[in-house]
A and B are shown apart, each in its own frame.
Chain A
Amino acid sequence: MKEKTLDTISWKWWLKNLFTNKNSLYTIIAIIVTLIIIGVLNKTLDNYQIRILNLCAIYIILALSMNLINGFVGLFSLGHAGFMAVGAYTCALLTMSPEVKQMNFFLKPMVPWLANVQVSFPTGVLMAGIMAALAGAIIGAPVLRLKDDYLAIATLGFAEIIRIVFTNLQSITNGALGLKGLPNTVNVWWTWGIAIATIIFMILLIHGSYGKAFKAIREDEIAAEAMGIGLFKHKMMAFIIGSFFAGIGGALLGHLMGTIDPLMFRFLLTFNIVLIVVFGGIGSITGNVIAAVIVTIMMEVLRVLDGRMDFGFIEIQGIPGLRMVVFSIMLMAVILFWQRGLMGTKEFSWAWLKRVSRRMVFRTKDC
């Protein structure tokens, strides 16, 4: 633990490695292509569609953060909405201008030490992550000694407590009234930039020694411990890192919506993310990224189900919630047919792509 991480980096060496390694070169190209596509979409799509594009990126961040905790370490945690709430409120309260805050807090004035603070959006997002991580550390210390369903109930309880606390801290959070007029700073570059950074971070973490230790814990706690892997330390680590990204996701979501209130962070929000993680394959980064995009878009497309539908011969009055019903049926179908989500614990990788394409070339030659 004596190691100073930063001063041992030699950037030259690092960069050289980055560009001589074929896979990282492909990855860089893939990132650039993605960014170009995002740029084009940003110019051509209408506002509503751009909002969905942003949501996709935010759900990627949220799904990956949950996947780290639930998928890689195998902890059954359901506290995501709580960490998101911490992040969203932190960022909102830090970035809103004093005037906007004053307008919001008409029932009860805001505490003076917060009323006049205003930081830049990036600082706010970073603080959101840090505060959520802090919440993760505080809640993790007692509950990570629990297992399975007990952990699920404890984390669920934590998320509800956060919500209730935020509802009642009138002079800090403005209570049930929520906050309106969050700075409109979120754009595709922010959301997708952070989403891509999160993807890269997760890949590097999971492929490293710590990532393998996480998986070992997921596979067999007793054996992992017998191999010298401290359960508590590693669970805490994953939980705190996961909370950090959940906080950032929450902050971005809040700013995208423009308004936040405690009701937004109900269990349903956690459930949406669970959906994505299960759908994409618990423990697959690439599976989760794909699932986040599909699920987010489907959720919007299926919105028509909640409204009035006119089929010409029959007219259905709007049935609120039908969307979720249809969606849950789709999820069940995926689980029934693929068992472990789209990707299981498998990953898309360049090596895999090479294998598959080579196989296809051979096939076509055979014909």
Chain B
Amino acid sequence: MAILRTDNITMKFGGLTAVSNLKINLEENQIVGLIGPNGAGKTTAFNMITGVYLPTEGKVFYKDMDITRKKPHEITQFGIARTFQNIRLFKELTVLDNVFVANHLRLKSNWVSSVIKTPRYITKEKEMHIKSLELLEKVGLIHVKDEDSYSLPYGMQRRLEIARALATDPKVLLLDEPAAGMNPQESQDLMGFIARIRDDFNLTILMIEHHMQVVMGVCEKIYVLDYGITIAEGNPFEIQNNQKVIEAYLGVD
């Protein structure tokens, strides 16, 4: 059974069709790539899946549940988390608090218990704290946990975004250009890291990437978008040798 499926989703902005009839199918534990040149509609696809945009047409299914009209926070609660291409950290919060607050959605106490500090709330808060520290350890940011998140260098901010998304306990993780701004070596390391978190957290991952080469090694399946249209889909080998893909990427890479 597909864990995440989009059924011909289309997004129109006025006269511009940013994504048309996109059909994505994610099986559990897969790492899938969504690639395409600038303005192909990749981020728009993410925004439709996560409820930021309501698709003009089509539906999104999570484990056979129709989530098309759900709010972004509900979709995250179901188990779909994301990172942002143009990093959106909580700037005035510390690195640790950025991750801590992403646990908030699983807190089952109400605000009164958080003020009077019931034992149950305290226990839960401690758990959240420990979990956040573990996640920071995992992404290698534990040494900067008390810094303000805006003071981090770019690469660290990207990793913090991943840690924050993981804190929401997702089943599906959507990564929007996690390797942006990294050199080839860093990109490869990141791909190794992504494969590791897939195993450690039992995740299904959909990853946007600009450069085809980066995702070739790690993705089992790749979708290629160009001007909103899915021009190819298949395993890395098929994609690499697809004539349409080569044409779309000519002059880009």
Contact = CB atoms under 8 A, between A and B. Distances in A.
8 contacts: A205-B115, A208-B115, A210-B104, A220-B89, A223-B89, A226-B81, A227-B167, A228-B106
A293 B70 CA distance: 46
Nearest to B52: A222
A76 B114 CA distance: 25
Interface residues of A, number: 38
A205 B116 CA distance: 9
B109 to A, nearest CB: 6
Given A3-B110, A212-B97, A213-B101, A226 B115 contact: no
A204 B118 CA distance: 12
Interface in A222-256: 222-231, 237, 241
B100 interface: yes
B251 interface: no
A9 interface: yes
Given A204-B117, A223-B89, A227-B168, 20 more contacts: A3-B120, A8-B118, A201-B115, A205-B114, A209-B114, A210-B114, A212-B101, A216-B90, A219-B91, A222-B72, A225-B76, A226-B82, A226-B88, A227-B102, A227-B104, A227-B164, A227-B165, A227-B167, A230-B71, A230-B74
Interface in B62-82: 71-74, 76-77, 81-82
B73 A5 contact: no
Nearest to B99: A227
B50 A226 contact: yes
A2 B113 CA distance: 12
Contact of B93 (A8, A215, A229, A231): A215
Contacts of A227: 73, 76, 81, 101-102, 104-105, 164-165, 167-168
B14 interface: no
A88 to B, nearest CB: 26
Contacts of B73: 225-231
A209 B107 contact: yes
A220 B115 contact: no
Contacts of B103: 209
Most chain B Cβ neighbours within 10 Å, of A8, A215, A223: A223
